[in-house]
Structure 1
Amino acid sequence: MRVLFLCLMLLACLPAQARPAGCNAGTVFEDRDGDGRRDRSEPGIAGVLVSDGERIVRTGREGRWSLPLEGDHTVFVIKPAGFAFPNGADGLPVFWRHVQPQPGPALRYGGIPAGPVACHDFPLRRVAPRKGPLELMVFADPQPKTARDVGYYERDIVGPIVEAARGRRAADLGLTLGDVVSDDLSLYPSMNRATARLRTPWLHVAGNHDLDFDAATDEDSLRSFRRSFGPDTFAWEEAQASFIVLDDVIWRPGQSPAYIGGLRESQFAFLGAYLATQPRDRRIVISAHIPFFDEPGRETFRRADRERLFALLAPFEKVLLLTGHGHVQRQHRHGPAEGWQGREPLHEYNVGAACGGYWSGPLDAAGIPDTRMSDGTPNGYATARFDPDGGYALRWHVARGQGEALHLHAPKLLRQGAYPGVGVYANVYMGEADTRVEYRVAGGEWQPMARVDEPDPALRRENLLDDASETLRGYDRLPEAEASTHLWRGRLPTNLPEGEHLVEVRAFDRWRGEVRSSVSYRLGRVAP
């Protein structure tokens, strides 16, 4: 009765034209004592955006909002800069409520249970404005199949970051780019417990392995994901950037392929309404799971949807796309051929996987699998720094700090005087087509290395060891090596003196500057 009375009182205070046919309304208020409940002394906050994933309204002078009560959906607040949400019992920020008046379809992992339609008040607390850069931590595809894999995620990714943070937040904001799990949605709670150790506000993108595969429609395919993580399409604002999270997995049960990259009409409505509120010089960060570029020879993201999205983004001067899904590391620059009409190419960072090669390969001394990706990149995570002027810097971090920006592969021994047809390879994890990579041998002159579209030879060696072994070297073998987009080669001389020779490689990272590594090979004399 008390909830009903409060709803009626709230609706009585709203303008008649704003009253919904039900209690899909509430107040956004300043939670001064941090208890998550509104007290009489806690004022409403005007001008805050509230959405149902399609429509957006702005709170009035007293912090009140209302939306039409049409079907079941998730209503959420778009966090304004200078504010923070409280955390729920799972450690995730509480910025959404489900509106589910009728039972949804019966799903294996539960979906969203029906509940009475109630008024929703959202607490926000003021935080000191951050004047410097914003640090974003990005995990793509943690993708555990089992509780054992969740343990790898915690020991390989989360634990070392927590240790390095020494009781502080790991970053200002965190983001998982989909495939939070690998089909088993019952693992969500254990994944959330692990991620909450980072003490960082964490957002989640939906991936193709986060679907309710027994759902009959795309609209119902993320009900269990939404129960745990809230809206699948939303925005979040910080002083340095506006972040837009998009579910771009279109579920097509009974068709082949069963899913494709794309966006729904409701998402375009949300994007149009939200982007209209943003200044044209604002840094916009779009986060999704499936990359916006197509794979060679096939459409993996619907072209018409990509063109509509790019048309909405074209007026903005500073846009960055973050995606996952591929379990490789790629930098892509969109241009007119893909529908981008901006003045500069549109940068998409396709982030490597936290699980790498699906938690595969032989175990190391710590009992954690090798799990490098098919392009040879070791598993790990990315960070992005966003400056107040809209600039940004990206960096890849190898899990547990077991490496830096590149690795090298070279033979151990060559015959002195042999034809110089054998090379040293440099896999530069953040490399792009125009990245400058050079090498020198035995302290000689620096020479350019040539970018090659080949498999990483270090991973290829592991594949051959798997082939030759009569016993399994790991629970699952490493993925087969595929052509890398960031591999360089330099020819090794054989006309040097007999003995050991140092090979030094330097690459010029767009954001970090010069990064180096080295390896040695030996020249031996063989009698004719």
Structure 2
Amino acid sequence: MIKLLLTLGGLGLCFTLSGQVKGYVFEDNNRNGKKERSEAGVAGVSVTNGVDVVQTDARGYYELPENDDQIIAVIKPSGYALPVNADNLPQFYYIHKPGGSPKLKYKGVSPTGKLRKNTNFSLYRSEEPDTFTALVFGDPQAYTKEEIHYFYRGIVAEVEGISDIPFGISLGDLVGDDLDLFGPYTDAIRKIGIPWYNVMGNHDMNYDAGEDRYSDETYESRFGPNNYAFNYGKVHFIILDDILYPDPRDGKGYWGGFRKDQLDFVENDLKYVPEDHLIVLAFHIPLSEPDGDAFRDKDRQRLFDLLSNYPNTLSLSAHTHLQKQDVFTRAEGWKGPRPHHSYNVGTTSGDWYSGKLNDQGIPVSTMRDGTPKGYAFIRFDGNRYAVDYKVAGAPATYQMNIFSPEVVARGRRTPAGIYVNFFMGSADDVVEYRIDNGSWKSMKQVEEPDPSYVRDVLEWDTTPSLFPGRRSSNPVISTHLWRGTIPTDLEAGKHTITVRATDRYGKVHSATSHYTLADPVD
């Protein structure tokens, strides 16, 4: 820190002006977290103070402007790994808050004291193939320790000890307003056994903060910056807090969007990212929602403008407790050479841990659009990607649910239909069906609630005695539902329904069900 001493009227008065944060990014060969003389710096690595981004010189040295409320972070380069702490959280940042966080209901950052002489960051050389897979969770959102237990047994235990996955990420709402649950949440995540990145959600905030910049103080104390970036292979990940709190329109609640300093960070970061790389954005609130003014338009537009030279992009979000694929084109302000795919990921908490209890005593928690709770695998190959959704507790092949009547009157036309909820589906997909060994026919995408989910909710409302668990939320329109007619001019008896769905990546999924034709009873 640069100190300037002034003498006024013979009195020795001194004060500190903002100076420079400086240090080295180095290859930590002995992995002790300290830069030894024998350990070389790593050149060309980006380092940020949350707004400015600079790159290290040939010696691995950097300098950044300093202030008294910032987080200095290295942007992990490809070919290197970060150290992790006991909770498997990557250690890529240093919090500089000499005065600590403001006093809030939930504890923030303790005073960090005087800035270090050198703020160094260690890296480990690591093989990083261009082909890899990331594990993605939406909204663990536990409100109680019991729900943390549901999260662990229903989701984490299924991927505990997973191999060949270099890292995972949670897309916000790590907990449900009780920030003391950050500890139990990280205890659960740690057991997966891989480095884990986190995004801040609206239920992870300090609600008693008077300004947006203080709404993340407890989150920072546990997870570090909520705006950061890292590289893996030919993919550049940018993680952002897209919750404006309090809502700048009326000072109440929150609104989706970004502060100027956050978008300045994105602009400065992208200066050092090759245009042929895939840019993956991860935030909590999706860039658009079906109802209401959920996102500040000017912020989305500036983000789109900053990405206009990148042909390969993907954004990930959660928040809605639905699963949805959006595509942004020039009509929505996207200026890139290819449309932008925004994937709103189904949640690990499903419909907020509601619904009947399964054989393990865990809520089934199917989401309101009929998507079962689960998580995603994103498989990267260079600057291309493909997404697989994994339903919790089910085989990987379970990608759709078929609904049809149990029995239909033979020879009579029926307004009933065969419905297919293809969980990862979108308007770009092709869904077909056939009856028995008949010819394949196209199904029509429809905007309706999933009848399977409607049936499940009605069961709660028509039962003469309560089920264990908590009633599910009311159904909403599903964006991935298809309908076909029911042939009734076949022989009486059971008939097989076969469905095949070809997704946006060219992968074909299939499922079967059946219905029975019976002679009418007059």
Q: TM-score, normalised by structure 2?
A: 0.93
Structure 1: runs of 5 or more not aligned? 1-6, 9-18
Check whether the contact 1:20–1:69 (CA below 8 A) recurs between aligned residues.
no
Alignment partner, residue 222 of structure 1: 216
Task: Find the partner of 2:477 among 479, 483, 508.
Answer: 483
Partner residue of 1:40 out of 31, 37, 42: 37
Contact preservation (8 Å) 2:428, 2:503: no
- Structure 1 residue aligned with 2:84: 87
Q: For the structure 1 residues 423 and 69, does the alpha-carbon distance in structure 2 shift closer, same or farther, using more than 3 Å as the test?
A: same
For the Cα contact (< 8 Å) 1:236–1:244, is it kept in 2? yes
Q: After TM superposition, give the deviation of residue 22 of structure 1 in Å.
A: 5.5
Q: 1:128 maps to what in 2?
A: 127
What displacement does 1:527 show? 4.0
Task: Name the structure 2 match of 1:427.
Answer: 421
Structure-1 residue corresponding to 2:65: 68
Contact 2:20/2:65 (<8 A) preserved: no
How far apart are the structure 2 equivalents of 1:447 and 1:86?
A: 53
Among candidates 359, 366, 385, match of residue 360 of structure 2 = 366
Cα distance, 1:21 vs. partner? Answer: 4.3
How many Å separate the matches in 2 of 1:475 and 1:214? Answer: 32
Task: Say which SS state the counterpart of residue 411 (structure 2) adopts.
Answer: coil
1:110–1:54: structure 2 CA closer, same or farther, 3 Å change rule?
Answer: same
1:412 maps onto 2:418 in alignment: no
Does 1:399 pair with 2:392? Answer: yes
For 2:139, which of 124, 135, 141 is the aligned residue?
141
* Pairing 1:99–2:96 present: yes
Secondary structure of the structure 2 residue equivalent to 1:385: strand
RMSD after superposition: 1.9
Q: Does 1:27 align with 2:29?
A: no
SS at match of 1:24: strand
Q: Shift in Å at residue 256 of structure 1? A: 6.9
> Are 1:329 and 2:326 matched, yes or no?
no
Q: Which amino acid aligns with 1:287?
A: A
Identity among equivalent positions (%) equals 37
Cα-to-partner distance string for 1:154-207 (whole Å, 9 max, x where unaligned): 1111111126x3xx35x1221111111111111111111211222222111111
CA displacement 1:214-268 (0-9 Å, x = unmatched): 1111110011111111111111011220000011010116937611111111112
Question: Does structure 1 retain, via aligned residues, the 8 Å contact 2:128–2:232?
Answer: no
Cα contact 1:20–1:66 (8 A) shared by 2: no
Which amino acid is 1:145 matched to? Y
**For 1:267, what is the secondary structure of its paired residue?**
helix
2: distance between equivalents of 1:527 and 1:461?
Answer: 25
Q: How does 1:446-457 map to 2 (within 5 A)?
A: 446-457=440-451
Which has the larger displacement, 482-491 or 472-481?
A: 472-481
Distance 2:392 2:269 in 1: 36
Once the 2 structures are TM-superposed, how far is the Cα of residue 445 of structure 1 from its aligned partner?
A: 1.3
- Secondary structure class of the residue paired with 1:158: helix
Shift of 1:23: 6.9
Offset, 1:376: 0.2
Q: Distance in 1 between matches of 2:393 and 2:294?
A: 33
Residue of structure 2 in register with 1:114 after alignment: 111
* Counterpart for residue 356 of structure 1: 350
Structure 1, residues 433-488: CA drift from partner, whole Å, max 9, x if none?
A: 13111111122111111111000111101111111134442432112111100000
Call closer, same or farther: CA 1:525–1:338 in 2, change over 3 Å.
Answer: same
Residue pair 1:355, 1:379 contacting (<8 A) in 2 also: yes
CA contact (8 A) 2:131 2:233 kept: no
SS of the counterpart of 2:157? helix
- The structural deviation recorded for 1:73 is 1.3
Whether the 8 Å CA contact 1:90–1:189 is kept in 2: the answer is no
Aligned to 2:500, the other structure's residue is in SS state: strand
User: Match for 2:47 among 45, 50, 58?
Assistant: 50
Code of the aligned partner of 2:256: G
TM-fit CA distance, 1:25? 2.5
TM-score (norm 1): 0.92
Contact 1:23 1:117 in 2 (8 A): no
Measure, in 2, the Cα distance between the counterparts of 1:275 and 1:481. 41
What stretches of structure 1 move > 4 A for 4+ residues in a row? 19-23
Aligned partners of 1:183, 1:225: CA distance in 2, in Å?
A: 11
In 1, Cα distance between equivalents of 2:166 and 2:495: 45
Partner of 1:76, secondary structure, is strand
Residue identity in the other structure for 2:134: L
- Residue 314 (structure 1) shift: 0.6
Q: Output one character per residue of 1:73-127: Cα deviation in whole Å (capped at 9) or x when no partner.
A: 1111000111111111222111111101114321111011112123222111111
1:364 deviates by 0.8
8 Å Cα contact 1:369/1:474 also seen in 2: no
Alpha-carbon deviations, 1:413-444, whole Å to 9, x = none?
12222322211110001111131111111221
Pairwise CA distance, 1:68: 2.1
Partner of 1:522: 516
CA distance in 2, matches of 1:371, 1:500: 31
**CA 1:476–1:527 in structure 2 vs 1: closer, same or farther (change >3 Å)?**
closer
Is the CA contact (8 Å cut-off) linking 2:135 and 2:377 kept in structure 1?
yes
Report the secondary structure of 1:67's partner residue: strand
2:284 equivalent to 1:285 = no
Within 1, Cα distance between the matches of 2:468 and 2:237? 39
Aligned-pair CA distance for 1:65: 2.3
Equivalent residue, structure 2, for 1:386: 380
CA distance in 1, matches of 2:401, 2:238: 34
Gaps of 5+ in 2: 3-15
Q: Which residue of 2 aligns with 1:198?
A: 192
For the 8 Å contact 2:100–2:108, the answer to whether it is kept is no
Q: Aligned letter for 1:506?
A: R
**Residue of structure 2 equivalent to 1:155:** 153
Matched AA of 2:104: L
1:331 and 1:106 map into 2 onto residues whose CA distance is: 41
Task: Determine the C-alpha separation between the residues in 2 that align with 1:508 and 1:474.
Answer: 38
SS at match of 2:122: strand
Please name the residue that 2:5 is paired with.
Answer: none
In 2, are the aligned partners of 1:283 and 1:318 still within 8 Å (CA)?
yes
Matches within 5 A, 1:427-446: 427-446=421-440
Amino acid at match of 2:283: A
Query: What is the correspondence of 1:239-258 to structure 2 with a 5 Å cutoff?
Result: 239-252=233-246, 255=250, 258=253
Name the CA distance, whole Å, in 1 between partners of 2:273 and 2:62.
20
**3-state SS in 2 of match to 1:157:** helix
Q: Is the 8 Å Cα contact of residues 145 and 183 (structure 1) preserved in structure 2?
A: yes
Distance in structure 2 (CA, Å) of the matches to 1:475 and 1:105: 39
